Structure 1
Amino acid sequence: MNLRNILKLPPILEVKNVLCVQPHPDDNEIGAGGFLSILKEKGAKITFVTVTDGRKGLPTREITHDEIVKIRDAEKRKAGEILGVTEFIDLGFEDGGNYTIDSLIEKLVRTFRTVKPELVLTVDGWAPYEAHPDHEKTGKGVTAAILAARNLSLPHLGEPFSVPQIAFYATPYPNTYIDITNYWENKIEAIKAHTSQFDNPNWPFIYEFFYEQAKEWYKEGLVKGKLKSEKNTLNEEGLAEAFKVLSIWELHMFPNAIFS
């Protein structure tokens, strides 16, 4: 069953207003930089919401955490410019901090009701081996906030708004694959804008991992018949990003969502 088809929701390549919620300042680029490059080219409004300040992102005592926050904020904005981000929203939680999902939900509900996105993009909080608390809290918090934003709960945070669909990246359960072959270099440029994270001896390995993963996703999407492209024809080989796309109706009391 494909509820998105039944509900006549637009394919994610056709949305005009997307809100991207990332745990740390570089996650959107890694998970969806190619897809966002396509939306930029099509003139979509792209909003970046960053949950934490990234202060734990450098294993050094030579500079303070506050200085790291400033560095990562500048890198985030440089990367966002490459991807056509039109607005940056920082929720200000401490990287690796003790904030709760409930505190995250409250801030996200206000954001969803204000921005009114056609699509929310975020990490998959249910990935089986995801060990980073910020990623789990972000993925699950975003999903819960989507449900809360559509009803009369939290009335002090604005009028209810129903987000039609959500797309998870870094997911083990993809149902949508986007051909990013022609946008790969733009994705990599955005990732490399985070010099504090990637300008180091590990970059060749990291790049190879990203590249091989994108090749595998392309083949997987092609075999499953779920590879979407802006091109009229698909080549046998290419590069892709993978997402789990669900309608809002699949986020509660819908046990088949894992198979959607």
Structure 2
Amino acid sequence: MEETDGRDFWSLMSAPADPFAGVARVLVLAPHPDDEALGCGGTVALYASKGVEVRVAVISDGGKIANEFADEDIDIVAARKAESLAASGILGVRETYFLGFPDGQLNAHEGKITAKLAEIVGHYRPDIIFAPSPVDFHEDHIAVSEIAVGLLMSPHAMKVAFYEVYETIRFNTLVDISDFIDVKERAVLCYQYSLFRHPEIYVEAAKALNRFRSFYTRANRYYEALLIISRPTERGELLQWLTYTPKEDSTSLFLSRLKVVDELLFEIGKYYDALQAYEADVRELRSLLGSREKRIDELQAHLDRMMGSLPWRMAVKFYTVRDRLLPAGSQRRRIYERITDQLK
């Protein structure tokens, strides 16, 4: 991996001197067919014009929009694949991989996607990987951006360049694509089904974004904005930089974390005290239960002795023949009942 000389993530956000220097192989990750053209199509065409080998990996099958064309007899996955190949031909892409994961569910397949892309990276050994911005609102785009950062852990030294699709990005590189804006437009126009039969709307939106970036150069040009990083970083740290969240100094960060630890220890102490009290209650209840069980055993033994005694057996025998000896309504029964009432 590239040496960082001990510098932190924030110091590495300065723009690379030349994003094209030393780049011979490029891999573009497109969550769906069309993202590569919309997000970095001009840069791809520029790379290709310089003899750089560019390959595209389309991660999803693009099938989620099939319901938009339910009234047409068409295989939307096959149609979007054909559109992607046509756009790749215009942009100068050498090879396109179609990974075929479920559209709209990429975050549920990150492990498998990472394994497949790691295999591609291992064989192809790109110098830079393009991926959607981590602050894009599309869940598939966010999933692919996280996978791209993880790929920086590969033994193969490379960079990751995040591009814009739905959301603007805090960038450190502007690529002048003015000479290739028409190429990008033609590539986007290939996506008739992907862009719901109105790719011209998306063309104008993408061109407007690329023109907006000239605000920073004061030149009548078109630019694609990129954030290029060269080492793995925590998602939180990356989002902190992208969203302009002020960086905490090390002392404040240490104190804030120390406060969290103190609060956690306090809560643990409370739970420990409560646990000790519960354990004391359990011991007391077990002791009480033991004494009750002992008393029950004593009473059971007494009952067993009583039921085994001669008077008890005689009483039981009498009750079994009482109605025959003392018929109900007889004089003897009435005398018997008066005697038993007096004994009660």
Report the TM range for the smaller structure's normalisation.
0.7 to 0.9
SS at match of 1:56: helix
Shift of 1:219: 1.9
Write the distance in 2 (CA, Å) between the matches of 1:238 and 1:10: 20
Q: Write the deviation string for residues 49-82 of structure 1: whole angstroms up to 9, x where unpaired.
A: 01101112341213478x1111111111110011
Write the distance in 2 (CA, Å) between the matches of 1:49 and 1:239: 25
Write the distance in 2 (CA, Å) between the matches of 1:51 and 1:10: 31
Shift of 1:112: 1.1
SS at match of 1:33: helix
Write the distance in 2 (CA, Å) between the matches of 1:88 and 1:45: 12
Among residues 220, 223, 236, which one is paired with 1:237 in the alignment? 220
Which ranges of structure 1 fall in alignment gaps of 5 or more residues? 151-160, 224-235
Write the distance in 2 (CA, Å) between the matches of 1:85 and 1:204: 22
Alignment of 1:43-192 (within 5 A): 43-58=51-66, 59-63=68-72, 67-97=75-105, 99-127=108-136, 130=137, 132-147=138-153, 149-150=154-155, 161-162=156-157, 164-170=158-164, 171-192=168-189
The one-letter amino acid of 2:173's match is T
The one-letter amino acid of 2:175's match is I
Write the distance in 2 (CA, Å) between the matches of 1:62 and 1:72: 17
Q: Compared with structure 1, are the counterparts of its residues 254 and 48 closer, same or farther at alpha carbon in structure 2 (3 Å cutoff)?
A: same
Q: Compared with structure 1, are the counterparts of its residues 5 and 175 closer, same or farther at alpha carbon in structure 2 (3 Å cutoff)?
A: closer
Contact kept? 2:33, 2:194, Cα under 8 Å: no
Contact kept? 1:46, 1:84, Cα under 8 Å: yes
The one-letter amino acid of 2:151's match is A
Contact kept? 1:12, 1:119, Cα under 8 Å: no
Q: Compared with structure 1, are the counterparts of its residues 102 and 240 closer, same or farther at alpha carbon in structure 2 (3 Å cutoff)?
A: same
Which residue number in structure 2 is paired with residue 21 of structure 1?
29
Q: Compared with structure 1, are the counterparts of its residues 253 and 186 closer, same or farther at alpha carbon in structure 2 (3 Å cutoff)?
A: closer
Contact kept? 1:112, 1:146, Cα under 8 Å: no
Contact kept? 1:124, 1:169, Cα under 8 Å: yes
- Percent of paired sites with the same residue: 23
SS at match of 2:57: strand
SS at match of 2:225: strand
Bigger proportion of residues as strand? 1
Which residue number in structure 2 is paired with residue 211 of structure 1?
207
Which residue number in structure 1 is paired with residue 230 of structure 2?
247
Q: Write the deviation string for residues 88-119 of structure 1: whole angstroms up to 9, x where unpaired.
A: 11221011136332222111111111110000
Q: TM-score, normalised by structure 2?
A: 0.60
The one-letter amino acid of 2:149's match is T
Taking CA–CA contacts closer than 8 Å with sequence separation of 6 or more, which of the two structures ends up with the larger relative contact order?
1
Write the distance in 2 (CA, Å) between the matches of 1:194 and 1:19: 20
Shift of 1:4: 8.3
Q: Write the deviation string for residues 30-53 of structure 1: whole angstroms up to 9, x where unpaired.
A: 001111111111111101001101
